[in-house]
Every structure is written in structure tokens, then in C-alpha cells.
A and B are shown apart, each in its own frame.
Chain A
Amino acid sequence: MGRKRKPQVGTVFSFTFQRHTGRKGYRVGTFAGMLVCFLLPLVIMTLVETLSGGSDEEELLVCRAGTVYVADSDGDAGTSASILERAVGSAAAEGNAEGEAAGNVTAGDDAEGEAAGNAAAGVRFAASEGGVKFVPAESFEQAYEQAEADGDALVLAIDEAEGGYHATVILPDESGLSDEDAEALETYVQVQFGDVLMAKAGLSLPQLISLGMATQVTYGEETLEDDGDFEEGMREILGYLLPYLNIMVLYFLILFYGQSVSTCVLMEKTSKLMDTFLIAVKPRDLLIGKLLGTVLAAFLQVVCWIIGLVGGFAAGTFAVKQINPGTDMALIKIFDSLEVFGGLFSLSGFVLGCAILLAGFLLYCALGSIGGALAGKPEDLSTTNGIYVMVLLISFFVTLSGTKPWMDWVPFTAVLVTPGRMLAGETSFAQGLLSLMLTVLGALVMVLIASKIYRVMALYKGKIPTMRQVLAMMGIKGKKKQTGKESGR
């Protein structure tokens, strides 16, 4: 007697949250959604990489020869041997240079660069020690004997025939190598023999190098091959794409969960529990507790799905890189470039973005709870939810027409555009913070309005009141004139 009862928001919140999260449908939906979000990118990325050819290394022919003895019928085997060995060496140098340019010089990467560098003309030379050597021989017989003695050597015999040259790769009888090694060398010689011919024609080594320099012709001012331009391109694409993706996803989530909130708010009325509740808890506490419980359960579900999605993309990226370390999958390039979006992908930016989403979610759900507060029975929801759906639709279409700076300052549009604008660098962190404060303020005002409406409508029975009647019941506008049976305290 005489004791002041504590606010019951916590008790209502806890019960509502437990009821939502304890439901089998919720748990199955959350887990299944998370699993789908995880598996979908993983499976699709893996399949795409596998079906598009997989590892580049698998396409390379492998030659395990440690030495290739070159016998030339015109007596200049030295030139031929040095030209062929230079081609392998320069490819190795390019491979190592690429590794260093990427800033990834580690023992493993160096080895990878070496492996890639020893690949030339579609052939990877995989000698166990020191790489392949092209050694000139006096004669074919000498070359053959030495190759047979080495065990891991091949013979390249070059003959000047009528109107051209003929190069033959010979696998000695007692060799430890296989036909595949000989065929790989044959392929290599076929591609590189042009250089040999040019050397035989009298061109010097520098001249040969000049002739071999790569030339690239492009159209336009920008190319994605340039790192800075690539970042700029990605920023432009993602800056355009992500806000729309954000708007679309949020629209459907808010539409779904907002209606769930209004149904939940109506539950006490449909279950004829209002009188029982009003003896124990203030309508304001009841509504806020239910709203927060529902919003948190919904947000938790969405977060689980997002975690699943992020995990799925991470696993997919890992799997693709395992299949093909040198993959050029566009999606992975996008992920690799996300670091250019410093705005949202910093920890503080991410937290701020999430806070705006949560506040906006609460804002719309509070608007949805007004629909529940105004309704007397489930059939009424299709009408009473009109306010909330209309506001959401207007905000959705306004933002679809293109994001503008003012949208950051209107709570109903801020939740849809601000995280995306921050991502694109169009809204600074400070502006995002201000937008968050405005959204939180908007959400609080909306919760307050919803709780006031819920209070006066708690025991109301009859037709859905007009806005004017609701305002009158709340004592805001005009003289109270009710058509329904009763309204709450």
C-alpha cells in the first residue's frame, strides 16, 4: 500500500522479445535465412569460377627439364640457346616485378612469382633446381649423349632446311623425363623461335628486346588498369548502386516489420486483454515495451542475415582464391576495392550507419504501431496502416528519384539514403552524426505520439476514428465528440 510501482517497459519488452525470438517460426526463419545468405554467394561464386575455367595454372604445360642441349646445324647454337634462355628469364623477371608492385612480397609470393615467371609462351618450366638452362652443343651426337647422361635433359636439334628451319625436340632413351615434358618444350620453342630467327638474321639483343616490348592501345581517357582510375570507377559504380540497394532492402524490411509491429500492438485488444493490462501497466509502457521488443527481435534477425551474407561472400572469395589465386572475378575486385570507401567501412562509420538504420527502423515501426493503436480489430489494420505505408512509399519514391543532401535531415528519408550517401562519400561523418540525432529525435517523437494515441484508444470500440476525432480524444484539437463506445484514460 502506498508503494510506487516501477515503470513496466522492461518487463513488457522482455516478454515481447522472448515471445518473438522463442517462436519456432522466428528461429527457423532466422537460421534458414542466415544459411541461405551464407550459402548463396559461396556456391554461386565457386560455381562461376569453376565453370569459367578455374586456375590459370592448369592451362600451362609443364616442362621439368633442367637442361636443354641445343644443337644447330649452322653452327651457331650459342645464339639460339641464349635467345631461348633469355625469353624464360625475362618472363621470370616480369613475374617477380608484378609481385613486388602489388606490395605482397613474401616468401610464398616470391615463390609464386618465380613459378609464374618461369612460365612463358604457355609453358611452365619446373626444374627441381635453379631453373631451366639452354646449353649449346657442338653436335647433335654430343647433345644427345650429354642429355642422356644428365637424366633430366632434352635435346633441341635445329636444322636449316630448304626455305626454312626445322627444330626437333628429342627425348633421350634413358631420360627421366616424359613425353609431356618434350611436348611442352616443343610448344615453347614454337612460340619463341621467331626471336631465334631474328637473332640469326643479325639483330642485336637490345634490338630484339625493343621488338619484344608490349604495346597497348586503348580508347578514351580512363582505363581500369590504372589503380587510381579503377578506384574512382568503383566509387562511382558503388556510390550509385549501394544507396539504391540500401533503399530497396530497407523498404521491404520496414514494410514487413512495421506491419508486424502494428499486429503485435493490436494483440492485446484482439485477445480482450486490455482491461487486464491496464490494471497492471500504463498504456505508454505497454506500447513502448512491445515496440522495442519487436524492433529488437526484427533487427537481430536482419543482423543475422547480414552476418550470413558477409560470411558467405568472405567464404566465396576464399574459395575462389583457392581455386584460382590469380582470379579476375569482378565481384572480388569490388570487395578488394571497398577500402576506398573509407566513410562507411571504418569502424566508426559502420557503427554510425548501423545506428541510423536502427533509429530509422524504430521510427518506422513507431509509425506502424500507430496503425495498431488506431485499430480495434485485425481487419482495421489495412486501413489504419495506411498512414505508415503512405509515408514509407512517399519516402521511397522521393529517394528513388535521386539522393539529395536535404534527405539526410528528414528522418523518414535519412534512414533510406544516409548510410548509402556516407558510403559514397557524399555525407561526412559529422553530417551522418547529425542525421542520426535527427532520426533518433524523430523516432522518439513518433513513439510519444503512438503511446498517446494508444492511451486514448486502449478501450475504444467502434468505427475507426478520423484523425480529427483522435486529436479531439487526445485533447489537442476541437471539442471531444466520440462515435465509439469508450476511450482510455
Chain B
Amino acid sequence: MSLIVSNLTKKYGEKTVVDHLSFAMEKPGVYALLGTNGAGKTTSIRMMLGMLAKDEGEALWDGKALNPATCNVGYLAEERGLYPKYTLMDQLIYFAALRGIPAAEARKRILYWAERLEVEEYLYPDAAKPAEDEDDGENGKKTKQRGRGKKAKPKLADQLSKGNQQKIQLMIALLPDPELLILDEPLSGLDPVNTDLFKSVIQEEIDKGKYLIMSSHQMATVEEFCTDLTILHRSHAVLQGNLNEIKKSYGRVNLYLKTEQEIDGYIKALGIQVKSKKEQEYRLRVTGEAQANELLGTLIANHVTIVVFELREPSLHEIFVSHVEE
């Protein structure tokens, strides 16, 4: 299976909002679609999924036009919401039905993801331990029947925190067990604990061999998962390719140095750029490995005690900022 996007273009009047975007995913993994606000990420995703008319180009899934009606796609949209006054379970069953999942199967999947995302208490207010039912098969029904005495009212969407609503929205995207999962800003607005939870779910999907497209501003997270990427800026793709190769192409130019003595004079003498300094901790930008080695030789020759000497490739954040600023 593969996803091939070629020449996707969208214009509003005279303004081009996505200009001939092309990329390909030949194997499972995470493809990152990065860009500043308004760069055209969400519009590109909407065009790929056929929600928005394309002015040019196509998106092919397994050689055929990508159509959510014929291929199993999950989508966590950037603009996401829930019916505020309907119960969560009703909404989940409804969305599952719209994706062609029978109610009984939907209830099983809902239970699994409710436990995985730690939202059982909102979906099964009467159940102390909904997991006990998992072995019995018809979990939803049994869970509902188990409550004795006064039943707790099912939760409505507007009674949940934003983070918990986001979990329900992720559940909606995951319910059809999609082959291609598109996550538009999946981690925005989450606390560190829930960020880790979401990241573990993403890793689970990667381990299952799914194709993921992720759009995010959290570069560290994207860097953690993605293998390939496109950086969009003002409707154009300004950088594309495999992340490791992109990094290699920049060379190891970031030098992190920690010493016990002041070394400002040596740095200045070699003409090295200081990015930041805190006491004897230096973040330097060297021209390459030769300049870094020259500095190291100078420090040794002058009996400077070196605590840390680390030469690194630029981070995705630095690559992104450098391209966008250009």
C-alpha cells in the first residue's frame, strides 16, 4: 500500500493557498506535514480526503483515488468538537454507525479505547471496573446493566474538560481501525500526562503497521515519530524528504560544551558563533567537524577541564525555523 499525493493545488480567487504539493508514503510510518499557521496544511489534508474541491492534482491510496467512502481513513481534525448536549456513548455509537461498524462491535472497540485513553468513568458512569466485562463479549450492555440502585447519568460532552473531549475525538478517529490515520495537531492543548498518553497511542498505531500523517507545531514530538516530512510555508513546500537525510545534509554543526573554566577567549579566537551561554555551559554553532576539533585541541592544549563535549546535527525545530525565516 502507498499514499501518493501529486500536485495538489487550491486557489481562492487569485490567491493560491496550496501550490503543487507532492509527496509519497511508500511504507507504513509517520509522515509529518509541518508549517506555520495558514501555510496550507489543513487545506491540503481536506483536499486529500476529498472534503474540499481541488483545483489541481490528486491523492492516490494504493493506486486509486483516496476516497474515505472506499478506503478506511481515520481523521482527527484540527477543528474538532462534539455535540455538546448528547451523551458520549450515543455520539460514539453514531459515528461508528456512520463508518459502517455494527453497534455490538462498536461497543467492544469503544470499551477498549475508553480504557486505553482512560475515559471509562465518563462513558460508563455506573461501572466500577468496566474491564471485567471485556471477557464476556457484549461489554456495553453488561456494563450498563450492572449499575444497581440509583444510576449515574451518562456524561454529556460539555461536561468534559478539553483534554478529555480530545480523547473522545481521538476515539472517533480510531474506531474504524483505520489503515491511514491523519492527525491534525493531535497534541495541542494537552497536559504533559495526556501528551504522553497520546504519544503512546500513536506509537501503538505505528507498531500495528499503520500509515500516519501528522501535522503539528510540536517539533520535538514530530521528530520523535516521523521518518519523512514536508515543510509548508506560504502555500509552498519549502523542504521535503527523509528526516535523517535532511539532518545529515546540514552536518554536525551544533556544539554543546560544558567546562570548568572560562573559554570565551578561545571561542572568540577561532571565530565560532555563540548561540547561548550560561556560566560555563556553551551552545555553539560551528562550521563543521574540523572547527569543532580545532576548538577541542585548543582546550586540551590549554589544560581546560571539559565536562561535556557534544557535536550534534540541527534539530527539526532549527531546520523548520531556518527554512521559514528564509
Contact = CB atoms under 8 A, between A and B. Distances in A.
Contact of B69 (A5, A19, A485, A487): A5
A2 B73 CA distance: 12
Contacts of B172: 276
B75 A279 contact: yes
B83 A272 contact: no
A34 B77 CA distance: 44
A459 B64 CA distance: 25
Contacts of A280: 68, 95, 98-99
Interface in B126-158: none
Interface in A431-489: 458-459, 480-482, 485-489
Contact of A276 (B43, B50, B71, B169): B169
B81 interface: yes
Contacts of A19: 86
A275 B77 contact: yes
Contact of B81 (A272, A279, A281): A272
Given A1-B72, A5-B69, A8-B98, A271 B81 contact: yes
Given A11-B98, A481-B13, A482-B12, A273 B72 contact: no
A273 B52 CA distance: 15
A11 B70 contact: no
A5 B100 contact: yes
Given A2-B70, A5-B69, A281-B98, A459 B75 contact: no
A268 to B, nearest CB: 9
B46 A486 contact: yes
A267 interface: yes
Contacts of B52: 459, 486-489
Interface in B264-279: none
B304 interface: no
What secondary structure prevails in chain B residues at the interface with A?
A: loop
Interface string A273-312: 1111111111000000000000000000000000000000
A391 B129 CA distance: 57
Interface residues of A, number: 34
Contact of B82 (A15, A271, A459, A488): A271
A482 B46 CA distance: 18
Given A1-B62, A486-B46, A272 B98 contact: no
A460 B83 CA distance: 19
B123 to A, nearest CB: 18
A1 B178 CA distance: 10
A216 to B, nearest CB: 68
A281 B81 CA distance: 16
Interface string B48-66: 0111110000000010100
B51 A489 contact: yes
B308 interface: no
A1 B1 CA distance: 11
A309 B290 CA distance: 95
What secondary structure prevails in chain A residues at the interface with B?
A: loop
A487 B84 CA distance: 24
A435 to B, nearest CB: 37
Interface residues of B, number: 38
Contact of A279 (B51, B62, B84, B94): B51
A488 B74 CA distance: 19
Given A8-B98, A273-B83, A275-B46, A489 B12 contact: no
Given A275-B77, A486-B46, A15 B71 contact: no
B150 to A, nearest CB: 18
Contacts of B50: 489
Contacts of B95: 276, 280
Interface in A212-247: none
Given A1-B179, A2-B71, A489 B53 contact: yes
B97 interface: yes
B80 interface: yes
Q: Which of A2, A4, A273 has the most CB of B within 10 A?
A: A273
Contacts of A8: 98
Q: Which of B51, B83, B99 has the most CB of A within 10 A?
A: B51
Contacts of A281: 98
B70 to A, nearest CB: 6
Nearest to B169: A276
B326 interface: no
Nearest to B184: A275
Nearest to A2: B70
B79 interface: yes
Contacts of B13: 480-482
B72 to A, nearest CB: 7
B100 A6 contact: yes
Nearest to A270: B81
B300 to A, nearest CB: 58
A111 B159 CA distance: 71
A280 to B, nearest CB: 4
Q: Which of A3, A271, A459 has the most CB of B within 10 A?
A: A271
A287 to B, nearest CB: 14
A276 B80 contact: yes
Contacts of A486: 12, 43, 46, 52
A297 to B, nearest CB: 15
A275 B245 CA distance: 34
Contacts of B53: 487-489
B69 A459 contact: no
B94 A4 contact: no
Nearest to A482: B12
Contact of A272 (B69, B74, B80, B90): B80
A272 B78 CA distance: 10
B212 to A, nearest CB: 15
Contacts of B62: 1
B77 A11 contact: no
Nearest to B97: A11
Interface string B216-258: 0000000000000000000000000000000000000000000
B81 A267 contact: no
A275 B70 contact: no
Contact of B77 (A3, A5, A276, A480): A276
Given A1-B62, A280-B99, A15 B12 contact: no
6 contacts: A12-B98, A272-B79, A278-B51, A280-B98, A459-B51, A481-B13
Closest 9 CB pairs of A and B: A272-B81, A275-B77, A280-B98, A271-B81, A278-B51, A5-B69, A279-B75, A11-B97, A279-B68
Given A15-B94, A275-B75, A481-B13, 15 more contacts: A1-B179, A2-B64, A2-B70, A2-B71, A3-B70, A5-B69, A5-B70, A11-B98, A267-B83, A271-B84, A273-B82, A276-B81, A458-B51, A459-B52, A480-B13
